[in-house]
Structure 1
Amino acid sequence: MERSPGVFAPQWRLTSIGIALAISLFAFEGIAVATAMPSAVRDLDGLAFFGWPYSAFLVMNLVGLGVAGQWCDRVGPRRPLLTGIAVFTAGLLLAGTAGHMAVFVLGRGTQGIGVGLASIAVFQLVATAYPPRLRPRALAIISAAYVLPALVGPVISGTITAHAGWRWVFLGLVPLVVAGGLTLLPALRTAPTPDRAPGDRSRKPLFALLAGIGVVALQSGGNAVVAGRTVLAVPLLAAGLLALGAGLRELLPRGSTRLRRGVPAVVAVRGLLAGAFYAVESVVPLTLVTLHGYGTVASGLPLLAGAVGWWAGAQAQGRITTVTRSSLLRHGLIALVCCFVGMAALCLPGAPGWPVYLLWIVGGLGMGVCVPTTGVLVLDQSAENETGTNSSALQISDVTAAGLGTSGAGVLVGATAAGGLGFGAAMTVLGIIATAVCATAAAGTSRTAPLKERAAVG
């Protein structure tokens, strides 16, 4: 039997390389900024505003995602993708040349908008440039492109910061980002333009901004609770919940909170698994240092193991054709449940620390299967003029839940620092919550596929 061409066949090679390069650079910037940030805030005398660059990126990333969805559905991926790359580049230049912390924060916010615009356009490019049978492998490229910066990003950015200065962590990416955009031009020229009236405008960017502000307010409110500032915490938490609820109501498909069959259920499951995974991931190194006495390098190695597992899972899901996508998603979530149960157990008194390396490979494997699989499920169930909107909802669910999960984990850590809760007990609670969240998502995977989907495909 003749083997069918893959995503690196001549007709798709430049597109695949361009997507991999663009996504890798977006991911590298997100990782590298953590390494460059201490030097940047010191040079800009901005230690008091250390969290603002992260918050600005999160909020404006949601705005970019909100803008991109319907824009892509109206005009196709070309203009949103090129605009996103241009805006991201402008953000790199702003951050890299900043002489004041306010300009640096503005640069990070600009980068967030650019990444939001470009990431949705890349999803739609996958839908238009590749046949349906190659979409799982094309989305595996995106997952792999996120993994590579996790493997080498901290080392490269640390070396650049130490020898050339933190500014070159941003400025050095500019020519590479431009090169990635040029590589995608051939595919963008041939991308079809949807047949949709250009007058369809929405207020989704405003609701995305509202949701982002809600996440930041909830994080601030949680920190205020830990610090014992109840008078400040109550209004912050109330305002955050109202803003987040109002924003997500307009940004996510109707029925997402009820896991309504089809795209709403996929979007909800993606949010649940992202929130659980990133919450636990954010405390893995700290847990190894605090509970098991590991050093800095050893405590960070599980994240490297998880990245390798993620890559393996992404590649595997692109080649598996013997089960349905919803079943594959369930298997990935079961892997995450096993990982989180183990993580909770390792935080009990007397438990060893070394199994975390194996557990985090399992967790990464689960994410590598789940993330591209949810993307395939959304694209396969979206009409041509809905791929942008539905992809936007999927990414918004992911980013919002990840922000909430890491914020919640941070509040738990803060509670241990304040003496209200033992660190091991807090991390055990976090593992149990993450397990319950992913188990709920696994139970809902049957609703992520159309009614007519069979239990297996040949």
Structure 2
Amino acid sequence: MERSPGVFAPQWRLTSIGIALAISLFAFEGIAVATAMPSAVRDLDGLAFFGWPYSAFLVTNLVGLGVAGQWCDRVGPGRPLLTGIAVFTVGLLMAGFAGHMAVFVLGRGAQGIGVGLASIAVFQIVATAYPPHLRPRALAIISAAYVLPALVGPVVSGTITAQVGWRWVFLGLVPLVLVGALTLLPVLRTLTAPGRASAGGSRKPLFALLAGAGVVVLQSAGNAAVAGRTALAVLLLGAGLAALVAGLRELLPGGSVRLHRGVPAVVALRGLLAGAFYAVESVVPLTLVVLHDFGTVASGLPLLAGALGWWAGAQLQGRITKMARPVLLRWGLAALACCFAGMAALSLPGAPGWPVYLLWIVGGLGMGVSVPTTGVLVLDQSAEDETGTNSSALQISDVTAAGLGTSAAGVLVGATAAGSLGFGSGMAALSLMAMVICAAAAVGASRTAPQAQRTTVN
């Protein structure tokens, strides 16, 4: 049987390899930094500022995403991609050579901007370099590129940190990043600027900065509440919500909150599924240790199972051609809802812990189906000069919601540690909330079809 040309056919092979390499390196850095951080803060005497490198990356990543959208729409993906890679490389060098915690934090901030710029540019390459029927498989490459770092990242970065020092977790990536840039140069020369971007792009970075600051302030509000500082918590909560809402109103398509049909609904649902998934994922190992007496290795293996499920789901959605994308999205969200319902049950007294391995495969499968599918829906419904802007909104929704979800989970864990709530009850409540969010999103999945295509989802 003759095989149809795929994303690794000769005309797209170098582009696919370049995309896979670039995204894998960005993902590896995000995973590896958690392993290197304890040694870095000890050497830099920065334990009091342990959370700052993470917050700096989150905020500047949103800024990079906000800048990249209309920049790509105006000039094409070439300059934003190369600028992003250059800024990311500078950030790696700053972190690797840092002699003070402030320099390390600035390096992480530069990495956040670089990843934001480059990730939107890569998304636009998918939109312009591949024909529409190959876009699902090209987006599956991006999903798969996150899996390998999830599998080997902690081991590799831990070994590097132990054998040659934490600085090489950052410095060692520099030559690989440059190779990735060189691999993508041929396709960048063939792509032309899609047209003019809409007005207002110069304000995007400011509103992205505002939204990122809102996420950080909301996390601080939760920590203040757990610590019993009620007045401060209320003040921070109000300020954080005001900043977040003001920022997202400018960054997301109009009608996203109300699930207006088409791109606004896709962007909103992407945020819902990301927030739910990352909130629960962040507490899975801790739940197994506290409630089920699992060891360190055994408690981390569900994340490996989830990564494999994500890869399988991404490959599956790339090969399904006869099912409407809103229908496929609904199935992915249903899988996530089932996973979270099971996680809630495992938090009950006397429940076994071993089913979490199966549940997290199901959850990873749901994400692997849903995340690329939302990307395809956005690309299919975007005019040529709107691809960058809409892709930016999709990624901003994802990153912001993931930050809020993990922050909420952290605050909940803090509440259980303070004795305000039982640990099992807290984790069950978190999982049930995530289940409700994904179930509601599944109901609204039919609204991700464009206005003229009222797809019936059965």
Using structure 2 for the length normalisation, give the TM-score.
0.98
Residue equivalent to 1:359: 359
Please list every run of 5 or more consecutive structure 2 residues that lacks an aligned counterpart in the other structure: none
1:16-415 equivalence runs, <5 A: 16-196=16-196, 201-415=201-415
Q: What is the rounded CA distance, in whole Å, between the counterparts of 1:54 and 1:90 in structure 2?
A: 17
Question: Contact 2:67 / 2:201 at 8 angstroms: preserved in 1?
Answer: no
CA–CA separation in structure 2 for the residues paired with 1:387 and 1:197: 10
| SS of alignment partner, residue 353 of structure 2 | coil
Distance 1:230 1:200, change over 3 A: closer
State the number of aligned residues. Answer: 457
Q: Distance in 1 between matches of 2:132 and 2:164?
A: 45
Task: Quote the RMSD (CA, aligned, Å).
Answer: 1.3
**Deviation digits for residues 395-448 of structure 1 (CA, Å, limit 9, x no counterpart):** 000000000000000011000000000000000000110001101110110000
- Say if 1:353 and 1:196 are closer, same or farther in 2 by CA, change over 3 A: same
Letter in 1 for 2:373: T
Q: Check conservation: 1:128, 1:192, Cα contact below 8 A.
A: no
Between the aligned partners of 1:274 and 1:198, the Cα distance in structure 2 is 28
**Pairwise mapping of residues 416-455 of structure 1 onto structure 2 (< 5 A)?**
416-453=416-453
Shift of 1:3: 3.3
Q: 1:333, 1:366 within 8 Å by CA — same for their partners in 2? A: yes
Which amino acid counterpart does residue 373 of structure 1 have in structure 2?
Answer: T
Per the alignment, in what secondary structure is the counterpart of residue 26 of structure 1? Answer: helix
Kindly indicate whether the alpha-carbon contact (under 8 Å) linking 1:323 and 1:455 is maintained by their aligned counterparts in 2. no
Q: How much does 1:231 deviate?
A: 2.3
What is the rounded CA distance, in whole Å, between the counterparts of 1:407 and 1:455 in structure 2? 36
Stretch moving more, 268-277 or 199-208: 199-208
- Paired residues of 1:53 and 1:109 also in contact (CA < 8 A): yes
Q: Which residue of 2 aligns with 1:8?
A: 8
Work out the CA distance in 2 between the residues paired with 1:453 and 1:314. 25
**SS of alignment partner, residue 254 of structure 2:** coil
Structure 1 segments unaligned to the other structure (5+ residues): none
Relative to structure 1, is the Cα distance of residues 79 and 169 closer, same or farther in structure 2, using a 3 angstrom cutoff?
A: same
CA 1:356/1:221 → structure 2, altered by over 3 Å: closer, same or farther? same
- What amino acid sits opposite 1:132 in the alignment? P
SS at match of 2:364: helix
2 CA distance for matches of 1:198 and 1:356? 47
1:363-407 Cα distance to aligned partner (Å, 9 max, x none)? 000000000000000000000000000000000000000000000
Q: Aligned partner of 2:417: which letter? A: A
Task: Give me the whole-angstrom Cα distance separating, in 2, the residues matched to 1:200 and 1:194.
Answer: 18
Separation in structure 2 between the aligned mates of residue 222 and residue 454 of structure 1, nearest angstrom? 41
User: Does the CA-based 8 Å contact 2:70-2:197 persist in structure 1?
Assistant: no
Q: Measure how far apart 1:322 and its partner are.
A: 1.7
1:350 and 1:198 map into 2 onto residues whose CA distance is 57
User: How far apart, CA to CA, are the structure 1 residues paired with 2:119 and 2:68?
Assistant: 9
- Aligned AA for 1:213? A
Deviation at 1:2, TM superposition (A): 4.6
Q: CA deviation at 1:234?
A: 1.3
Whether the 8 Å CA contact 1:323–1:456 is kept in 2: the answer is no
> % of aligned pairs identical?
84
Report if aligned partners of 2:446, 2:456 keep a CA contact under 8 Å in 1: no
The one-letter amino acid of 2:290's match is T
Letter in 2 for 1:365: L
Q: Is the 8 A contact 1:90 1:107 kept in 2?
A: yes
Amino acid aligned to 2:73: D
Contact 2:73–2:197 (CA<8 Å) still a contact in 1? Answer: no
Per-residue CA shift, 1:34-83, capped at 9, x if unaligned? 00000000000000000000000000000000000000000000000000
Give secondary structure in 1 for the equivalent of 2:6. Answer: coil
Question: d(CA) in 2 for partners of 1:38 and 1:352?
Answer: 32
Contact 1:346 1:353 in 2 (8 A): yes
Give the letter for the 2:255 counterpart. Answer: G
Tell me the distance in 2 between the aligned counterparts of 1:43 and 1:82. Answer: 32
For residues 138 and 432 of structure 1, the distance between their equivalents in structure 2, rounded to whole angstroms, comes to 33
Find the aligned partners of 1:413 and 1:361 in 2 and give their Cα distance.
24
Q: 1:237 to 1:455 in 2, by over 3 A?
A: closer
Q: Given that residues 344 and 427 in structure 1 are in contact (C-alpha distance below 8 angstroms), is that contact kept between their aligned partners in structure 2?
A: yes
Whole-angstrom CA distance in 2 between matches of 1:150 and 1:139: 18
1:198, CA displacement in angstroms? 9.4
Shift of 1:196: 1.7
CA distance in 2, matches of 1:86, 1:124: 18
SS at match of 1:419: coil
User: Following the alignment from structure 2 to structure 1, what is the Cα–Cα distance between the partners of residues 294 and 288?
Assistant: 6
Task: Give 1:263's aligned amino acid.
Answer: V
